[in-house]
């Protein structure tokens, strides 16, 4: 007769607990609960595409990347949609062949897009997702069914529309930009798939962003704060004026919590175009949340009612708010709260959220010491990241690795991290936009003091220095490293640390 205390080999919950022989029993049960929740949706797929293994494919992709690099970069803009509209015209308006959910805001756009994509996919819709910038591979920007398109398909799509790109180039005052070409590729790839719905993140702003040749059935506005102030405006209200450009006639607007002046601008635009508005904190929101191993457990209120015990494998209160926005957007897409009263199927919602991943956003890529990557690149993003680190990790000593772009509010970024960094290693990434490490160090010294700042211009050296500093606490003392300041810095660190 078997021992009554022996775990049933068919019970995965008991199996997981049995594996945790070196852990506190209560902690083992908590972790098992989180892991079985995650299993329902499969493990989050955090990895992003690596370079193609086939040398010929890799060569062809590099040739496409080189051609794209000859065009205006993403920071050089001529505020107009005339060129992308011309490209759509000669391509036969591919962006009109599927409904879309359009996302703008300052922070949280990419993660919210990934959440929306996961939810739609769980309800068996074929999705296309367009986000920017990429963490490691340019192919990440265009996804079908939750996965980046293959390098082969990326190359094929580029060559398919290249003759039309050149035709438009010859007709316009300025050639199509890097971002405009990629937007055209995404819309063409989605039509070719074909997708049931496109989830599209703006590149910058809204009104004149290249993505804004779609008429989103649902317009999502994540939290607005100060960023790109030289192009979008110097106050949240002014910036909201640009971002409100994605709100189209008779659309549904899903609005995250906003500064008062930004909310006023968005609501005014919604009234002008007869759009329906759902506001976080009123029509939907986060009811409760608690920290869980590997993420958090939340109860969300959607347009159709409450969704209890939703496991989210992402850290930080901001991610729970992103989840509430994503849920409301998908409900609006399905007509919940308007055409239908009942909520979405709770098990499907739980399964979708349990499988969400967001590379480079509070992502743990190493243990002993723990190394966390987060792409915060402005003060607002840095503040929520600092809060999330404090909530999710019990670091006794946290070392920062910061590499930022020269066009950002670097002082504000560093000030947001100052309370949680024991020391900071300043560095620079390989982008031409990167702030010089010595220039960054001068600002860091003013914020942290000379004794807490180390300069390592090469990112590999900066990572090594930070890990060494964290290890000074001892193997079990709880030192950690946070790499942040730029999506590019995070992407390059991911590669150096063996991810992707």
pLDDT at position 431: 85
Q: What is the pLDDT of residue 107?
A: 87
Residue 149, token pair as written in the block: 């398109």
Q: Is residue 75 part of a domain?
A: yes
pLDDT of residue 233: 58
Are 327 and 372 within one domain?
no
Is the residue at 349 inside a domain?
yes
Q: Is the peptide bond before 123 cis (omega within 30 degrees of 0)?
A: no
Contact 133, 55 (CB under 8 A): no
pLDDT the model gives residue 285? 97
Q: Which two tokens stand for residue 115?
A: 């959440």
Average pLDDT over the chain, rounded to an integer = 87
Mean pLDDT, range 462-473, rounded to an integer: 91
Distance of alpha carbon 373 from alpha carbon 481, whole angstroms: 8
Spatial separation of the C-alpha atoms in residues 456 and 453, rounded to whole Å: 10
Q: Domain boundary residue among 337, 355, 373?
A: 355
Give me the pLDDT at residue 477, please. 63
Residue 399 sits in the same domain as residue 272? no
β-strand partners of 100? 198
Residues in the chain, total: 500
Q: Which CATH number characterizes residue 59's domain?
A: 3.40.1190.10
In this structure, the answer to whether residues 313 and 349 fall within a common structural domain is yes
The count of structural domains within the chain is 2
% of the chain with per-residue pLDDT over 90: 72
Place of tokens 């001068």: 442
- Is residue 160 in a domain? yes
Average pLDDT over residues 330-336: 96
Lowest model confidence (mean pLDDT) among 6-15, 91-100, 196-205, 370-379: 6-15
The reply to whether 382 and 241 lie within a common domain is no
Residue 2 lies in a domain: no
In a domain, 325, yes or no: yes
Q: What is the mean pLDDT of residues 428-437?
A: 90
Does residue 379 share a domain with residue 328?
Answer: no
- Tens-digit pLDDT profile for residues 245-262: 999 999 999 999 999 999
Query: Is there a domain that residue 189 lies in?
Result: yes
**What is the per-residue pLDDT for 280?**
96
What is the per-residue pLDDT for 47? 58
- Which pLDDT score is estimated for 76? 66
Average pLDDT value for residue range 81-104: 97
Q: Does residue 122 share a domain with residue 226?
A: yes
Shared domain check, 268 and 175: yes
Q: Is residue 71 part of a domain?
A: yes
Nearest to 101 by CA among 355, 348, 375, 328: 328
Q: What pLDDT does 476 receive? A: 53
pLDDT of residue 332: 97
> With bands split at pLDDT 50, 70 and 90, how would you rate the model's confidence at 42?
very low
Alpha helix ranges (H) inside 280-436? 317-334, 346-354, 379-392, 410-417
Q: CB under 8 Å to 412, separation ≥6 — which residues?
A: 378, 379, 382
State pTM to two decimals: 0.85
pLDDT given at position 34? 37
Between 487 and 348, the higher pLDDT residue = 348
Between the alpha carbon of residue 391 and those of residues 23, 315, 486, the distances in Å are 21, 8, 22
* pLDDT score recorded for residue 9: 39
In-domain check, residue 126: yes
Same domain, 312 and 398: no
Q: Domain end: 339, 355, 371, which one?
A: 355
pLDDT digits (tens, 9 = 90+) for 130-163: 999 888 899 999 999 999 999 999 999 999 999 9
Q: What is the pLDDT of residues 207-226, one digit of tens each?
A: 899 999 999 999 999 999 86
pLDDT value at position 474?
Answer: 60
CATH code, domain with 479: 3.90.190.20
Conformational region of residue 28, where left means phi above 0, alpha means psi within -120 to 50, and beta covers everything else: alpha
Edge-to-edge order in the sheet of strand 100-104: 147-148, 142-144, 127-130, 197-201, 100-104, 218-221, 252-255, 276-279
Query: Residue 25: is its pLDDT beyond 90?
Result: no
Does 334 share its domain with 192?
A: yes
Question: Do residues 339 and 389 share a domain?
Answer: no
DSSP letter string over 200-256?
EE-SSSSTT-TTTTS--SEEEEPPP-S-SHHHH-SSHHHHHHHHGGG--TT-EEEE-
Quick one: 292 and 186 in the same domain? yes
Confidence at residue 498, expressed as pLDDT on a 0 to 100 scale: 81
252-255 and 218-221: which strand pairing? parallel
Using the predicted structure, report yes or no on whether residue 340 has a pLDDT greater than 80. no
Q: What are phi and psi for residue 397, nearest 5 degrees?
A: -155, 120
Which of these three, 310, 334, 355, is where a domain ends? 355
Q: Give the per-residue pLDDT at 277.
A: 97
pLDDT grade for 55, boundaries at 50, 70 and 90: very high
Tokens of 197: 């719905």
| Domain of residue 430, residue span | 363-497
Per the CB < 8 A criterion, the answer to whether 424 and 444 are in contact is yes
The larger pLDDT score, comparing residue 1 to residue 315, is at: 315
Same domain, 107 and 209: yes
Q: What is the pLDDT of residue 236?
A: 86
Residue 14's pLDDT band, with cuts at 50, 70 and 90, is very low
* CA–CA gap between residue 424 and residue 448 (Å, rounded): 8
Is 499 in contact with 365 (CB distance < 8 Å)? yes
Bridge partners (DSSP) of residue 220 are 103, 254
Is the confidence at residue 384, as pLDDT, over 80? yes
459 pLDDT higher than 60: yes
């Amino acid at each position: 007769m078997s021992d009554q205390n022996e775990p049933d080999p068919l019970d995965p919950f008991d199996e997981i607990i049995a594996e945790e022989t070196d852990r506190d029993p209560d902690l083992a049960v908590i972790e098992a609960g989180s892991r079985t929740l995650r299993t329902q949706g499969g493990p989050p797929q955090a990895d992003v595409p690596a370079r193609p293994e086939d040398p010929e494919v890799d060569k062809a992709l590099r040739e496409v990347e080189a051609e794209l690099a000859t065009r205006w970069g993403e920071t050089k803009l001529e505020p107009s949609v005339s060129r992308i509209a011309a490209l759509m015209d000669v391509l036969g308006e591919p962006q009109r062949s599927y409904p879309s959910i359009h996302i703008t805001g300052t922070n949280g756009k990419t993660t919210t897009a990934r959440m929306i994509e996961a939810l739609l996919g769980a309800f068996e819709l074929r999705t296309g997702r367009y986000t920017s910038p990429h963490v490691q591979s340019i192919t990440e920007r265009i996804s079908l069914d939750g996965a980046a398109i293959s390098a082969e398909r990326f190359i094929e799509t580029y060559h398919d529309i290249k003759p039309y790109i050149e035709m438009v180039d010859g007709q316009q005052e300025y050639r199509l930009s890097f971002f405009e070409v990629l937007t055209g590729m995404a819309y063409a790839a989605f039509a070719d798939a074909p997708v049931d719905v496109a989830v599209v993140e703006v590149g910058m702003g809204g009104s004149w962003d290249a993505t804004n040749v779609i008429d989103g059935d649902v317009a999502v506005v994540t939290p607005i704060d100060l960023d790109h102030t030289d192009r979008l405006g110097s106050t949240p209200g002014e910036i909201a004026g640009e971002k409100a450009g994605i709100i189209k006639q008779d659309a549904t607007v899903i609005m995250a919590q906003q500064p008062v002046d930004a909310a006023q601008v968005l609501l005014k635009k919604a009234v002008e175009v007869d759009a329906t508005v759902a506001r976080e904190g009123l029509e939907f929101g986060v009811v409760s949340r608690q920290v869980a191993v590997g993420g958090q457990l939340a109860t969300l209120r959607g347009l159709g009612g409450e969704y209890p015990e939703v496991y989210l494998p992402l850290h930080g209160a901001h991610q729970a708010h992103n989840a509430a926005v994503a849920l409301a957007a998908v409900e609006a897409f399905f007509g919940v709260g308007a055409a239908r009263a009942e909520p979405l199927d709770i098990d499907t919602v739980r399964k979708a959220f349990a499988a969400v991943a967001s590379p480079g956003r509070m992502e743990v890529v190493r243990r002993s010491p723990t190394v966390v990557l987060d792409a915060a690149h402005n003060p607002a993003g840095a503040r929520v990241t600092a809060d999330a680190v404090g909530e999710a990790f019990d670091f006794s000593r946290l070392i920062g690795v910061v590499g930022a772009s020269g066009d950002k509010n670097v002082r504000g970024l560093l000030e947001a991290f100052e309370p949680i960094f024991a020391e900071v290693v300043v560095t620079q990434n390989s982008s031409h936009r990167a702030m010089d490490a010595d220039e960054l160090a001068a600002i860091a010294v003013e914020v942290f003091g000379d004794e807490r700042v180390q300069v390592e211009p090469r990112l590999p050296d900066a990572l090594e220095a930070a890990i060494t500093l964290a290890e000074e606490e001892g193997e079990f003392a709880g030192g950690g490293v946070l790499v942040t300041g730029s999506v590019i810095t995070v992407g390059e660190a991911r590669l150096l640390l063996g991810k992707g």
